[in-house]
Structures are given as C-alpha cells and as structure tokens.
Structure 1
Amino acid sequence: MPPEEKDPILEYFVRLAPLIQELIPLDCMIGISDREKFLYNLDGREIKNPKAIPGKPIPGESGLSKAIQKEGTVRITVSGETYGGPAFKTTTVPVRDEAGRVIGAVGLALSLSAQDALTEVAGTVATLARDASMAVEGLAESAQNLTRHHETLLSVVEEVRQQVSKTETILGFIREVAGKSNLLGLNAAIEAARAGEGGRGFSVVAEEIRKMSAYSTNSVKEIKDILVAINEKVGKMAKSISQVSDEAQNEAAATEEISASVQELATLAQKIETVAQII
C-alpha cells in the first residue's frame, strides 16, 4: 500500500497510473517514488518488480534513482533473468514541483516480449526471403538457358529445312537427267532395231540405259517422299519447340514477378525489424 502522506503532484501520478496502464496495449509496469523511497508500483501481467515495495528505499542502480540524480530522462533495458520474467525496457522521468525542484520520479516499463516476437518473425521472414531469392535466381538462370537452347534448336530446324529445299533442287536435276536418259535409251533402241543384226549389241546398251533411267526415276520419287516426311516432322518439331520456347518465356516473366514479390518480402522484414526496435 502507498504511504498516506504524499506530495500532491506525486499523488496525482499515483491515481493516474492505472488509467495509463489501461491505455497502453502492451504489457507494462508503472513505478513512482519520491527522492528516497518507493511510493507506488503497479505490476504488469507478466513483468513485475518484487523489490518495488512502497516505503522501501529505491536502489541506487534503479531508473527512478538515476532519473532523480540526473534530473533527466533515463532509459534502461532489464533482462528477463533479473526478476525471473520477460525482459523489459524502462523510461523514467523526474517529477518537479511548482518551483522546479525534483521531488521524485515516474517510471514506465514496457515488456519486450512483443519486440522479441517481431524480431524473430522478421528474422524468419528475412531468411525465407533470402532462400526464396536464391531459388528464384536459379529458376531464372535455368529459364534463360532453356530459352537459349530453344533458339539454337530453332536455328538447327531452319537449317534442316533449307537443306531439304536444296535437296529438292538436286532431285529435280536428277529427274531431268533420268527423263533425258530414258528418251536417249528409247531413241537408241529404235536405231538398233533399224540396224538389224548389226545393232543388237547397241540394243543391249540402250536397254540398260532405259533401266537405269527408270531406276533413277523411282529412286527420285522415293527420296522425295522421304524428304516430304522429314520436312513435315521438322515442321512439327519447330512448332513444338516454339511452344516450349513461349512457355519458357512465360516462366521467365513469372520468375521476375516472384523475384519482385520476394524483394517486397525482404523489405517487409526490414520494416518489421524497425517496428520491433521502436516497440
């Protein structure tokens, strides 16, 4: 219980203390003293000062005593081991009478539980942001490599198409030669028939020329069919590669968006840390 006789100003603070505690959303403790002894102490939900007994002398190392001696504001952080509870930080100010003389002090202690929790959350968020950022960077690099590989494949496909086109030109030339050879063989056969018995040997040569021409024509047709099939499959391959390339580009764009979000997360962690320090 506070002593019966107090300075009116200190008595005012004693009466005001419960209201101040209710106004502060954090767990807090309020202590009031005159120049020598504790006058009043209002413990918080978890933070308590078992040594702050009304009527007992205030310790020289306490914030109340230091604020009186300094005649100014004193801030102290008290570890949880000191009183067996949560750590807290105190802000103590001297109280002056109408003549300006220091007649006592008022101290407000705020629990650091919220600060510790926020600091832990900020650290966790920062770690997650850092890990996510590394993962996103790896994805971005993979997407870029994939895009480069797709561009290389598309270049190869285009080159194959060009080679197929050139082969078609060569086949056209062979087809033309085969047609002329067939015509030459036919003419040679006619001339051999006219020559009678003397043209028999030439007739054999003419027949071989016609067979070679027919074989060349058939080979050209088969090769052309193969080239048409190759060109068709190359076209499908190019379409598939193009689709995969588009997906890779979309993935790269999505990765950039994720990277921006991760950066915002890291910024948020810094803000949380700042707020924790303020609290």
Structure 2
Amino acid sequence: MIQLSAVDSYKAFAHILADAIPGGVRFWLVEGNTVVWTIASKSFDMQIVKVGDVLEEHYASMQAIREKKVITHKISSAAYGKPILMTTIPIVNDEGIGVGAFNLALPRLHPVATAFDDFAPIVAKMFHEGAFIYLTDLDQIVHRQPSEIFDMMEFPLNYKLSDDDIAKKVIRTKQPAFAEINSVRYNESLAVVNYPLFDEVNADEVVATLGIVTPKKTAAQLQGIAKNLENGLSGISAAIQQLAASAAQIYSNEQIQHSNIQEIASLSEEINVVSGFIKKIAEETNMLGLNAAIEAARAGNEGRGFGVVAEEIRKLSDQSKSTIPELKKITDKIHDKMNLASDNSERSLQSSEEQASATEEITASIEEIASMSEELYRIAKKL
C-alpha cells in the first residue's frame, strides 16, 4: 500500500520511469472513484483511462481500495487492442482507510520478448551471411537485432507494420510464414521467416511475432553458377555431338580409303602377273626371232630380207624383256607404298574407332554433369 503523504513522490518517480521502461508504461491516479491524473510513455499510446473518468465498483482500482491490497491482472488484447499487465496499488490515509489507488499498465511481453536481448545477438552470429532478427507486437517492431555484417535499415525500431508485411499475415493467419523479398538497399534476394507467439493465458491469441531475415547471396551465386554451368555444358555437349558425327564420318571415310588401298594393292599384284606374261612373250618372241634368223641364213640371198626382220624382232624382244625388271621395280615400290599406306590406314581406322568410342563416353559424362548442375540449381533455389 501507499501512504497518502507519499503520492506526490510516486508521481514524480512515474515521470522519470515513463520513458525509461522498455515497451512503455502508463500511470494513473484514482481519488475516491475518479481518475485525477495520468501520464504515459511516448511509445505507449494505449488510452486505458483519462482524467475525469468515474470508475464503477467492479474496476480493479475500486477493488484494491476496498480490500486494501495490491491487485495484478493479465488483460488480453480483446480489451485494449494488445495484451497488458495492470497493477493497482491502494492508497491509504493516516487512519488506514483506503482513499485511492495508484495504477500502472505495461504491455504484457511474451517470454521470448523478455529473453530477446539475451538470445538474439547469439542467434544472429550463427548465420555466416548475417541475419536480422526482429520481434513485433500487433502493430510495430518492438525489438531488433542485426548482425555485424547484415542489417535491415528499412525496418527500424517502432516501424509500423503494414498489411503487406509478413508479420501482419502471421498475425491474421496464426501460422508461420516464409517469403522471399527483394531489398532495394542490398539489391539481392532475402529470405524472411516469421513465427507467431501466443498469449500465455489464451493459447489461441497471437500477441507477438518473431522474424528472421537472411540474405540469399550464396544461394543466388550458386543459382548463377549452376545456370552458367548448365548452359556451358549444353554448348559443349552440342559440340561433342557434332564431333562425334564428324568422327563417325571420318571412320566411314577411313573404311572406304582402306578398301581402296587394298584394291590398289591387288592391282599391283595383277601388274606383276601381266609383267610376267610380257616377259614370257618376249622370251618366246626372241626364240622365234632366233629361229627365223637361222632359217634366213639357210635361204641365202633370198632370205636376207627376212633375216633383217627377224633381227628387228629379236631387238624388240630384248627391249621388251629389259623393261620388265624396271616395271617390276616400279610395281614393287607401289606395293611397298601400298603396304605402308595400308598399315597407316589400319591405324587411322583403329584411332577413329577409339575416338568415336571416347566421344560417346565424354558425351555420357557431360550429360551426367549437366544433370548434376540441374540438381545444384534446384538445391540453390531452396537455400
């Protein structure tokens, strides 16, 4: 109880406390059954009573005066728009008779609000990109805690909630909410999560919300990297597919070339056969020319002309026979070159086949990497 003589001291003390109590406070004085004085913090604009109000008997102030005891009530937001804690202290005169009451009303804070200054700085440091943690009542931001590397200057203390704010949605729906917003200040996506805090007395009544804002810079970078990787892999995959088609064409051409070389080698063998046939004809022609010369000698003067012809035939036969070794040398060289070309063609054919196989493996690997980049993009979008 308060002695009547000490009321002025309480009023003076109330002036000091009005703007010193976090969340605000309202004081008022009742004499008899009438409100005669009141003062409130600037941040606590709730109009509970006003000077001149006459109180009915069921009011807490009248009960405290009658019973001469301190009365504390937890009042829900249904009465004044937000939950409050009201305390009424009876005032007695020198005879101990109750003559009035000294009242104070405080916004009733959720336990999370009470502990905010203790846990919020710790939680803010747990996010490697920084975090902004805030607490609202039903109308405005009442606590805020930025991290050292991230702050939301758009939401100062006492920021009035608008209908578009996620906190208002949470208050209306009584359900947690998540959203992504674009910050003009940071020019990047931000993730916002907000949870409703319910009244301790009425478990169905939202009295506050707790929100956390985190930048999504890393997630955005991952999305960009994944998208660029996907685009790059698509280009590489297209190029490799074209390369694979070219390798297949080269392989086909190598097969045709190898077949042609084999045919040329076969023709060189045929040339050798023809050369052998020519050699045989030349030898037989030489023998015929020799026989003709012998017969011409036997015929004497009558066979002289025929002998000249026989001699020319033998000369042509010798010339034809002498070209056979040269022709064989040429065909042998052709044959050697064909063998060399055939070996090279065989190796090229094998290399082309290996290249085509390797290209298929690379294409398969790139398709797998492309699939992984798509998965990376999906994961980044969830961060």
TM-score by length of 2: 0.66
More helix by share: 1
Could you report, residue by residue, the CA deviation over 1:17-42 in whole angstroms, capped at 9, with x for unpaired residues? 23332333342211112223323111
Letter of the structure 2 residue corresponding to residue 158 of structure 1: Q
- Cα distance, 1:219 vs structure 2: 2.3
If asked which structure has higher relative contact order (CA below 8 Å, sep 6+), I would say 1
Indicate yes or no: 2:115 matched with 1:95. Answer: no
Is contact 1:26–1:110 with CA below 8 Å preserved after alignment? yes
Q: How does 1:215-226 map to 2 (within 5 A)?
A: 215-226=319-330
Is contact 1:47–1:88 with CA below 8 Å preserved after alignment? no
What is the aligned counterpart of 1:21 among 124, 139, 145? 124
Could you report, residue by residue, the CA deviation over 1:87-132 in whole angstroms, capped at 9, with x for unpaired residues? 3121112112344232211112121212221111112111211221
Equivalent position SS for 1:23: coil
Counterpart position of 1:105: 209
Counterpart position of 1:275: 379
Provide the C-alpha distance between the structure 1 equivalents of 2:257 and 2:212, rounded to a whole number of angstroms. 72
Indicate yes or no: 2:267 matched with 1:247. Answer: no
Indicate yes or no: 2:180 matched with 1:77. Answer: yes
Q: Identify if the C-alpha distance between structure 1 residues 86 and 210 changes in structure 2 by more than 3 Å, giving closer, same or farther.
A: closer
Q: How does 1:121-200 map to 2 (within 5 A)?
A: 121-200=225-304
Letter of the structure 1 residue corresponding to residue 267 of structure 2: Q
Could you tell me which runs of 5 or more consecutive residues in structure 1 were left unpaired when the two chains were aligned: none
Equivalent position SS for 2:272: helix
- Cα distance, 1:156 vs structure 2: 0.9
Letter of the structure 2 residue corresponding to residue 135 of structure 1: A
Letter of the structure 2 residue corresponding to residue 89 of structure 1: A
- Cα distance, 1:249 vs structure 2: 2.9
Provide the C-alpha distance between the structure 1 equivalents of 2:118 and 2:167, rounded to a whole number of angstroms. 18
Is contact 1:29–1:47 with CA below 8 Å preserved after alignment? yes
Provide the C-alpha distance between the structure 2 equivalents of 1:217 and 1:47, rounded to a whole number of angstroms. 105
Provide the C-alpha distance between the structure 2 equivalents of 1:85 and 1:217, rounded to a whole number of angstroms. 96
Q: Identify if the C-alpha distance between structure 1 residues 84 and 263 changes in structure 2 by more than 3 Å, giving closer, same or farther.
A: closer
- Cα distance, 1:85 vs structure 2: 5.4
Could you report, residue by residue, the CA deviation over 1:179-230 in whole angstroms, capped at 9, with x for unpaired residues? 1111111122222222223322221222122112112211222222211111
Provide the C-alpha distance between the structure 2 equivalents of 1:146 and 1:267, rounded to a whole number of angstroms. 30
Q: How does 1:195-206 map to 2 (within 5 A)?
A: 195-206=299-310
Counterpart position of 1:3: 23
What is the aligned counterpart of 1:116 among 202, 207, 220? 220
Counterpart position of 1:64: 167
Provide the C-alpha distance between the structure 1 equivalents of 2:338 and 2:375, rounded to a whole number of angstroms. 55
- Cα distance, 1:47 vs structure 2: 4.1
Provide the C-alpha distance between the structure 2 equivalents of 1:218 and 1:178, rounded to a whole number of angstroms. 9
- Cα distance, 1:154 vs structure 2: 0.8
% same residue: 26
Provide the C-alpha distance between the structure 2 equivalents of 1:270 and 1:188, rounded to a whole number of angstroms. 95
Is contact 2:132–2:150 with CA below 8 Å preserved after alignment? no
Q: Identify if the C-alpha distance between structure 1 residues 235 and 102 changes in structure 2 by more than 3 Å, giving closer, same or farther.
A: same
Indicate yes or no: 2:339 matched with 1:235. Answer: yes
Is contact 1:31–1:107 with CA below 8 Å preserved after alignment? yes
Aligned length: 277
Counterpart position of 2:33: none
Q: Larger Cα Rg: Structure 1 or Structure 2?
A: 2
Could you report, residue by residue, the CA deviation over 1:241-273 in whole angstroms, capped at 9, with x for unpaired residues? 223333333333332333233223322321221
Equivalent position SS for 1:156: helix
More strand by share: 2
Provide the C-alpha distance between the structure 2 equivalents of 1:56 and 1:236, rounded to a whole number of angstroms. 88
Could you report, residue by residue, the CA deviation over 1:128-177 in whole angstroms, capped at 9, with x for unpaired residues? 11221122122222222221221111111111111111222222222111
Letter of the structure 1 residue corresponding to residue 162 of structure 2: P
TM-score by length of 1: 0.89
Indicate yes or no: 2:231 matched with 1:211. Answer: no
Provide the C-alpha distance between the structure 2 equivalents of 1:92 and 1:2, rounded to a whole number of angstroms. 22
Provide the C-alpha distance between the structure 2 equivalents of 1:85 and 1:40, rounded to a whole number of angstroms. 25
Runs of 4+ in 1 over 6 A off after TM superposition: none
Could you report, residue by residue, the CA deviation over 1:36-89 in whole angstroms, capped at 9, with x for unpaired residues? 332311124234144341x554333221121011111222222121x5554312
